[in-house]
Amino acid sequence: MALAMEISTMAQAMQLHARLLKSGQEDPTHFQNLSKLFTFSALSPSGDLTHARHILTNLRTPNSYYYNTMIRAYSDSPDPARSITLFLSMHCRREEQHGVVVPGPDKFTYPFVLKACSKLRNTQMGKQIHGLILKSGLISDRYVNNALIHMYAGCGDSGLALKVFDEMSERDVVSWTSMIDGFVDNNRPIEAIKLFELMMESGVDPNEATLVSVLRGCADTGALSIGKKVHSFVKEKDLSMKANVGTALIDMYAKCGCIDDARRVFDETMDKDVYAWTAMISGLASHGLSEEAMEHFELMKSCNVKPDERTMTAVLSACRNAGWIGKGLYHIRSMKKYKLRPTIQHYGCIVDTFVRAGQLDEAEQFIRKMMPIDPDVVLWRTLLWGCKVHGDVERSKRLLKDVELLKMDSRDCGSYILLGNVYAATGNWKEKAKMRELMNQRELVKTPGSSRIEIDGNVHEFTAGDSRHVEAEHIYAKLNEMEENVRREGYDPKVSEVLLEIDDDEKASQLLHHSEKLAVSFGLIKTDPGTAIRIVKNLRSCEDCHSFMKLISKLYQREIIIRDRIRYHHFKDGECSCGDRW
């Protein structure tokens, strides 16, 4: 016991360990202490992995617990590759220093090393380890399978993740959650929501993690009614107080256009941390409520919650949406105070603020002279987009020469398309044609715009020019009919009747979604603003949509709210709250 009390620092432990090794004595108390110290240094957030590794290296008879714990610690560290290296030494039963034989991997080893593969997005290694698991006979282990799902999804292959999930004989809540989360992370939120529903039908009780994942899926698709159902579930189970679920709810409501509900959840959330505050600030900012967003930021600081990089992005985007250049500059400078280093996103917000205010000179100077880091394609594209909007042909020509956007990221179709548009705006049709040709040569497929809409709890997804939806024929027929009406008579109020008819007969027809046709927006007229927001959320041709909404709000004398990529637009009597900068 005396010995146990003695060992309280790593140095003492090392010393004693060396002494004991030398004398050949083995004191069980000592090893118990060493094990405790090892676990502490490997697993506590303040732990020192070099110490833990040192202990492991010097053990005479290391058991798999030590190795597994070390692999686990490495997989959570900033350098997960070490986790794989150590795993390989276990796999090869490689002898470490002092002739110590390394234990082989067991069912605890695999989940940790798979996590490292996921973090490194190393599918190849993940697949090889999957092979080893098959050979080892551990493939029926639930934990191992759950980790495999997570690994494949984390590496961007939700198909393989689903294969593992499907082939599992016994699934638990973690299996379901990992798969749901994997779908969300791989931009398949509709499948995520469907799987969640299937999970409920199967009688598996979701936990907080599941709810958080499915709420993220709802936020991505605008699936408000499912989000609301989840919220009721949260209330029933009395989970709403938890900050993680609260944050997911705030984000979901804000992204579905229900800022009041977001505020309500925020007020109910106990122990608001930086995540919850950031979700609220960013939601307010995207709803054009910049003043309130800044008030929340001040309030957050007065509650002793320190902002992080993401909070600052939300704050800067509030400044951007309000057109506050001075404030934006003030806040990006203030980041130093919080020991935060501005990233390209933060600088991007500032450049965008200049661009939106039409201060293209300032924007360019800022990129060239004020930024301590190299600008990326997105930044140059923001400026180029500004040239197009503000008709600064000379600058765009100069930028095209100087910046060589295409070389910076030759796989990014957005640049080609924007450049093509700029050339077209300057009347340079030859160059525009060249862009198209270049895209073809490099075999770039134009990423189509896509949007999703929820009807009666089902989320439908559409891709521009896509005709795979089961009701596609009807939908496109109606779209064409409406488009014809518009073309013939300007705006035709009969359109709303057509829509009502569609609404009664076939629900699917609300899914008027995007093609880059104006007709897209018609579906909003007889639906609530929340639906309107959700439909146009991903619209590409915002300019068309914007002018169309002005027309509709005037004709129908009602308020319409839509959201483009940056903010919400409130149309009243044909005027938009954003000051109509289109």
Tell me, residue by residue from 335 to 354, as one string, x for binding to DNA by CB under 7 A and - for no binding: ----------x--xx--x--
SS3 state of residue 582: coil
Confirm or reject binding of residue 158 to DNA (CB under 7 A).
Answer: no
With 0-12 / 13-18 / 19 or more C-beta atoms within 10 angstroms meaning exposed / middle / buried, residue 39 is: middle
Confirm or reject binding of residue 181 to DNA (CB under 7 A).
Answer: yes
Confirm or reject binding of residue 210 to DNA (CB under 7 A).
Answer: yes
389: which DSSP letter?
Answer: H
Confirm or reject binding of residue 49 to DNA (CB under 7 A).
Answer: no
Structure tokens at 39: 């676990």
Residue 487 C-beta: closest distance to DNA, Å? 27
Nearest to 112 by CA among 135, 136, 133: 133
**The dihedral formed by the CA atoms of 439, 376, 282 and 390, expressed in degrees to the nearest 10:** -70
Confirm or reject binding of residue 387 to DNA (CB under 7 A).
Answer: no
CA distance 134 to 316: 50
Q: What is the enclosing helix (H) or strand (E) of 451?
A: strand 450-455
Residue 380 C-beta: closest distance to DNA, Å? 11
Confirm or reject binding of residue 72 to DNA (CB under 7 A).
Answer: yes
* Contact stretch for DNA (CB under 7 A) within 52-60, 77-85, 359-367, 377-385: 377-385
Tell me, residue by residue from 80 to 119, as one string, x for binding to DNA by CB under 7 A and - for no binding: ---------------------------xx--xx--x--x-
Confirm or reject binding of residue 247 to DNA (CB under 7 A).
Answer: yes
Structure tokens at 427: 């009347």
Confirm or reject binding of residue 317 to DNA (CB under 7 A).
Answer: yes
Q: Which of 90, 113, 248, 403 binds DNA (CB under 7 A)?
A: 248
Structure tokens at 204: 């598996």
* Contact stretch for DNA (CB under 7 A) within 125-133, 139-147, 157-165, 365-373: 139-147
Cβ contact 115:146 at 8 Å:
no
**Residue 218: count of CB within 10 angstroms of its CB:** 32
Query: Between residues 251 and 454, which has the closer beta carbon with respect to DNA?
Result: 251
* Contact stretch for DNA (CB under 7 A) within 26-34, 194-202, 314-322, 518-526: 314-322
Confirm or reject binding of residue 381 to DNA (CB under 7 A).
Answer: yes
Q: Which of 33, 311, 510, 515 binds DNA (CB under 7 A)?
A: 311
Angle (CA) 302 304 307, round 5°: 95
Q: Rounded to whole angstroms, what are the CA distances from 446 to 235, 400, 465?
A: 44, 21, 12
SS3 state of residue 232: helix
Q: Which of 35, 39, 225, 244 binds DNA (CB under 7 A)?
A: 244
Confirm or reject binding of residue 452 to DNA (CB under 7 A).
Answer: no
Number of residues that bind DNA (CB under 7 A): 65
Confirm or reject binding of residue 282 to DNA (CB under 7 A).
Answer: yes
Confirm or reject binding of residue 286 to DNA (CB under 7 A).
Answer: yes
Q: What is the enclosing helix (H) or strand (E) of 176?
A: helix 173-185
**Residue 417: count of CB within 10 angstroms of its CB:** 16
CA distance 351 to 348: 5
Query: Between residues 13 and 392, which has the closer beta carbon with respect to DNA?
Result: 392
Contacts of 284 (CB under 8 A, 6+ apart): 254, 259, 290, 292, 293, 296, 318
CA distance 288 to 67: 52
Residue 566 C-beta: closest distance to DNA, Å? 3
What residue ranges bind DNA (CB under 7 A)? 72, 107-108, 111-112, 115, 118, 141-144, 146-147, 150, 172-175, 177-178, 181, 207-210, 212-213, 216, 219, 243-244, 246-248, 251, 255, 273-276, 278-279, 282, 286, 307-311, 313-314, 317, 320, 345, 348-349, 352, 378, 381-382, 385, 414, 418, 565-566
